[in-house]
Amino acid sequence: MKPDAQDILNKSADQLMGQLAPALNAQYSQGAAAVMALLMKFAGKEYERGADIRAAENADMRALFAEIAPRVGDKALRRRLEEAASSRDASLTISALNTANYKLRHTLIAVQVWTEDNGTREDQQRIWTVLKASADRRIVSLF
């Protein structure tokens, strides 16, 4: 489908920032329009990468749970990890990926809490590897 959503958002943002915002005569409106233009740029980037970020994150968390589950002494948590590890994304829509992502992140918090009290340093570091990768992927670039 052409033009791409990212292209539409980028060009609209450029017009809003470069032509429309300066024509507004109220300082607050000019500022708000400039921020909206920036948000449109962000949304364009998110359109391109949003599904990929979430799918990668979900895959990372499932792999982590499969790896750690055998070492988790808490039976209920171990079962939760095993179930989460074998779950699948229902579809590639952002909403479906988010639903799975939030559920997996809740499980990640639970296993991290358990690991901080009962796990090995290696498992703690492994969890942080996943979290750092997530934070890196989600950084929003201004440029």
Partner 1 sequence: MSDALSERLAKYLATKLNAPDLTVHDLARIPGGASRETYRFRARHGGTERKLILRRDPPASLIETERSTEYRAYEAFHKLGLPVPEPIALELGCEALERPFFIMAEIENAFVGSILAPDPYGAHRAKIGQQFFSILGRIAGADPKTLGISDFEGASAPDQCWKHEVERWEKVIEEDEGEPQPIARAAVRWLKRNPPPPAQKISVVHGDYRSGNFLYDANGDIRAILDWEMAHLGDPLEDLAWAIDPLWAHHDPSHPAGTLARGDAIKVWEQASGLKAEAKALAWWEMFASLKGCAIWISAAHEYATGRNDDPVNAFSGWYCLAYHNKVLADRLGTLA
- Footprint of partner 1 (CB under 8 A): 26-29, 31-32, 35-36, 38-39, 42, 98, 101-102, 105-106, 108-109, 112-113, 116, 121, 124-125, 127-129, 131-132, 134-136, 138-140, 142
Using alpha carbons only, give the angle 112, 117, 119 rounded to the nearest 5 degrees: 70
Complex with partner 1: residue 29 or 86, whichever CB lies closer: 29
In whole angstroms, give the CA distance from residue 42 to residue 78.
38
Neighbours of 81 (CB within 10 A): 27
CB of 47 to partner 1, least distance (A): 13
Which residue lies nearer to partner 1 by CB, 2 or 141?
141
Find tokens 């809490």 and name the residue. 113
When the beta carbons of 15 and 125 are compared against partner 1, the nearer one is: 125
Kindly state the smallest distance separating residue 35's Cβ from partner 1, in Å.
Answer: 4
Q: Is the dihedral of CA 131, 59, 81, 87 positive or negative?
A: positive
- Considering the complex, what minimum distance in angstroms separates the CB of residue 51 from partner 1? 16
- Cβ proximity to partner 1: between 86 and 128 the closer is 128
DSSP 113-129: HHHHHHS-HHHHHHHHH
Q: Looking at beta carbons only, is 85 or 108 nearer to partner 1?
A: 108
Q: Which two tokens stand for residue 24?
A: 């507004």
Please state, in angstroms and rounded to a whole number, the distance separating the CA atoms of residues 10 and 17: 10
Q: To the nearest whole angstrom, how small is the minimum distance from the Cβ of residue 100 to partner 1? A: 12
CB of 7 to partner 1, least distance (A): 20
